[in-house]
Amino acid sequence: MRVLLLGGTLEASKLASLLAGQSGISAVLSFAGRTKSPRVPEIPTRIGGFGGVEGLRAYIEAERIDVLVDATHPFAEQISRNAAIAAAMAKIPLVSLSRPAWCAEASDRWIDVAGMAAAAAALGREPKRVFLTVGRLQIEAFAAAPQHFYLVRAIEPLMPAPSLPRHRVILGRGPFALEAEEKLLREESIEVIVTKNSGGSATFAKLLAARALGVPVVMVARPQQASGPVLNDPADVMAFLFRHQRSLLHQGTLAPREV
């Protein structure tokens, strides 16, 4: 059985490890190519976009893909939408692997917003020191609020540099330790954090640090999830794949040599 795994997340890497060497399943992990040094998987890879819905559908048909797994970032809205449409057109199942969203506790000071423009507006008119952790593609939305100082954290150097009048970029890849996050917020005199509700443990420490120090968090909600089953555990996705493999065998649509 042929599986196309749309990756770029830690969850995708974990699933790739489970798929590696799996008898009867041939999987390919696809990276969008936005991160220059992605984690090296244990299965064959491809890097780069597909050219929209039609390009993805053509790849699925040319490579005889049986199942499409969307394990992209929860905010990779366009590729998830394309995956849902292409899978429907190719008449193959789509399953999403997505980490659960974070949930606020009573002591958290979250300001929930629907998008980046709303997040910039939620910072208010008075200048603040802002810890910005929204990913490089969304940084420009904060040019609409140039009165603030932005401490921007990114995985890789930002090219071109953000068009924010007052900012500094620091580099780091999670997981981050709570003590280090608390130290960063204190030393930089951070007054508010802006982040996306990405979920997962790798960057959760900044929210624990904000809770401990009483720092408010502007939390950008996830886009609406594409159609199809959404699973949170790579092991559950493997169970889904095994069930589909058995179904194909029962229908006689899977060649014996692929098992």
What gap in Å lies between CA 39 and CA 94, rounded to an integer? 24
Q: What integer pLDDT is reported at residue 259 of this predicted model?
A: 39
What gap in Å lies between CA 214 and CA 92, rounded to an integer? 48
Structure token digits, residue 150: 């932005």
Q: Do domains 2-99+223-258 and 110-220 have the same CATH topology?
A: yes
Q: What integer pLDDT is reported at residue 257 of this predicted model?
A: 38
Q: What integer pLDDT is reported at residue 254 of this predicted model?
A: 64
Q: What integer pLDDT is reported at residue 256 of this predicted model?
A: 46
- Domain boundaries along the sequence of the chain: 2-99+223-258, 110-220
* Global model pTM greater than 0.85: no
Q: CB neighbours of 74 closer than 8 A, spacing ≥ 6?
A: 98, 99, 101, 196, 197, 198, 199, 222, 223
- Regions in the chain scoring below 70 on pLDDT: 33-41, 225-227, 253-259
Q: What integer pLDDT is reported at residue 39 of this predicted model?
A: 59
Architecture label for domain 2-99+223-258: 3-Layer(aba) Sandwich (3.40)
Radius of gyration, CA atoms only, the chain: 20
Q: What integer pLDDT is reported at residue 41 of this predicted model?
A: 65
Domain 110-220 is found in CATH 3.40.50.720: yes
Q: What integer pLDDT is reported at residue 223 of this predicted model?
A: 87
